A and B are shown apart, each in its own frame.
Chain A
Amino acid sequence: MPDQPVPEVYRPTHPGARVDIDPEVQSPDLAAGGPTRPVLAAVALGGILGAEARYGAGRALTHPADGFPWSTLAINVTGCLLIGVLMAILQRLPRPHRLARPFFGTGILGGYTTYSTFAVEVQQLVRAHRAGTAAGYLAATVVGCAAAVWLATAVTVRAWDRYRGAAA
């Protein structure tokens, strides 16, 4: 039974949603009821680690105020690559640890990636009369991040199936 692939990865796991679509909230832990202290602690600790990584990367890759925000783009694209890998693995593990998703997904990757910085950087570029840079940054982020999730998921699923095929 544990060796069987999960046929439906979108299992509803908490009463508020019919389908498991949100990596943030539908941790299997929620099926049992409200948020537990270990889950909140895992989210907080992971969030701190992710935010420190983002802060460090932002300090290392600086850009002029009216320049292209490469650091935020790099942070969000790498975070999206990692969420694709993480979710593909968690959905294929027969029994992932109940704190794995809150810690790695909601915590580390949620804390590492940022929407608010992206939104305010777009606004700041427009304010600095750099509408072209703002549009390019917006498009690169939306397309780059979607492509990153898609690619990372596809590669992880392939690698997983190959490894499992070789192991069997």
Chain B
Amino acid sequence: MTWLLVALGAGVGAPSRYLLDRAVQSWHRTLFPWGTVAVNVLASLVLGLLTGAAGSVNPDFAVLAGAGFCGALSTYSAFSYETLRLAERGARWQAVLNVLLSLAAGIGAGVLGWWLGAALG
């Protein structure tokens, strides 16, 4: 049964990533992949929240929202690909910034979400 919950979450998460990434990328005219940073930070915040509140979250909902929605909303392949593309384009400092910003903001969002979840849960 859990595979169905994963499918439901991912069926919403993946198109949400596409639409949000696309919207963010249309707001600026730089090379920088702000769209991917945004979806990864958002997904890390929500997954941190679910993990922090794990004790009081329905396990089925945790699979749907965690493994399904957050997993499909976030992406590592695009992040890595874009970092290499930036470096190849000669935008090396932007490639470095992409890694540092994604790590700091993504893990920071996970920590913040966890604290919120633990406080609320």
Interface residues of A (CB under 8 A from B): 10, 14-19, 21-26, 30, 35, 39-40, 43-44, 46-48, 50-52, 54-55, 58, 76, 79-80, 82-84, 87, 102, 105-107, 109-120, 122-124, 127, 138, 141-142, 145-146, 148-150, 153
Contact = CB atoms under 8 A, between A and B. Distances in A.
18 contacts: A16-B26, A16-B29, A22-B78, A22-B82, A23-B77, A24-B22, A43-B14, A46-B14, A51-B72, A52-B6, A55-B3, A82-B77, A84-B81, A110-B72, A114-B74, A117-B47, A145-B76, A146-B80
B9 to A, nearest CB: 7
B48 A48 contact: no
Interface in B10-27: 10-15, 17-19, 21-22, 25-27
B9 A24 contact: no
Main secondary structure of the interface of A (DSSP, over half): helix
Nearest to B13: A47
A111 B82 contact: no
A41 to B, nearest CB: 8
Q: Which of B15, B76, B102 has the most CB of A within 10 A?
A: B76
